[in-house]
Chain A
């Protein structure tokens, strides 16, 4: 049993108006020192078995097929401790 994390982010060149709105809200709330915010998605996948190479390869396929739209998004896969 393992938990695999897939983080999906808009590609750097894609405008993120939600992140910009959050960045503009921070100073209004008294938070300073943040120059940019990018908003993304995090998926937590509970695997039936171990996070071995075969399972991670499957997760990569899931990310490419469904979790991310690779036209506009990048993804990163990691194994939760």
Chain B
């Protein structure tokens, strides 16, 4: 049996693609590099949109990346069920692409925040969180200046009512996100976006605050193997 293939997208200005690829490999899958300028998903089984400052965050975070050739392939594929995880800038891109509702705006306190953050897992019914327990608290690094999740009242009510708030900040809200939201999913649960960084918390060697990030990768691998 061949290993599951998880695509890791690189845009100009992406920072976390190498960590993401390493996390994918540590979990036992093949990391497939995907290039923003290609109209080619290379037949991958899932896609990781990593963090960074794609296109220099020009205009708005993720606003230019969202129209890249790779994204014009990824958007219909995600709508058809391809599992996609976006972290940090990847989350911002998913919102700009309208694969996820709402938007990420400047942190309430204006400061760029870089620290270890407690996060509560609110939903294990997504492609990327099935290996966690509902209500489990995990610790992941956060590092962002535009992480304040906003959406209109009707959208927030729908997210809460449908159990699509996947992660909430615990022990204090770092950026002013509405309802302490750290991550959300689409209706089908195949597309998940969050501001924290699971790919930076997969091995003790790098001084990570935990190895809780592994759960994202073991979740998706179980899903792909059982698919």
Residues of A at the B interface (CB closer than 8 Å) are 10, 13-15, 17-18, 21, 66-67, 69, 71-72
Contacts and interface: CB of A to CB of B under 8 A. Distances in A.
Contact of A15 (B60, B102, B176): B176
B109 A71 contact: no
A14 B150 contact: yes
Interface of B: 59-60, 63, 67, 95-96, 101-103, 105-110, 148, 150-152, 176
B157 to A, nearest CB: 15
A69 to B, nearest CB: 6
Contacts of A21: 110
B89 to A, nearest CB: 15
A66 B67 CA distance: 9
A45 B131 CA distance: 50
B63 A69 contact: yes
A50 B60 CA distance: 29
Which of A15, A17, A18, A66 is the most central at the interface, judged by chain B CB atoms within 10 Å of its CB? A17
Contact of B108 (A13, A15, A66, A67): A15
A66 B59 contact: yes
19 contacts: A14-B105, A14-B150, A15-B108, A15-B148, A15-B176, A18-B110, A66-B59, A66-B63, A66-B67, A67-B59, A69-B63, A71-B95, A71-B101, A71-B102, A71-B103, A71-B152, A72-B103, A72-B105, A72-B150
Contacts of A10: 105
Contacts, number: 35
Nearest to A70: B103
B102 A17 contact: no
A14 B108 CA distance: 11
Contacts of A71: 95, 101-103, 151-152
Contacts of B59: 66-67
Nearest to A68: B60
B106 A17 contact: yes
A15 B150 CA distance: 9
A73 to B, nearest CB: 9
Which of A21, A66, A67 is the most central at the interface, judged by chain B CB atoms within 10 Å of its CB? A66
Nearest to B96: A69
Nearest to B60: A69
A64 B60 CA distance: 14
Nearest to A14: B150
Contacts of B101: 71
B149 to A, nearest CB: 11
Given A17-B110, A66-B59, 6 more contacts: A14-B105, A15-B105, A21-B110, A69-B60, A69-B63, A71-B151
Contacts of B105: 10, 14-15, 72
A15 B178 CA distance: 11
A18 B151 CA distance: 19
A17 B110 CA distance: 7
Contacts of B106: 17-18
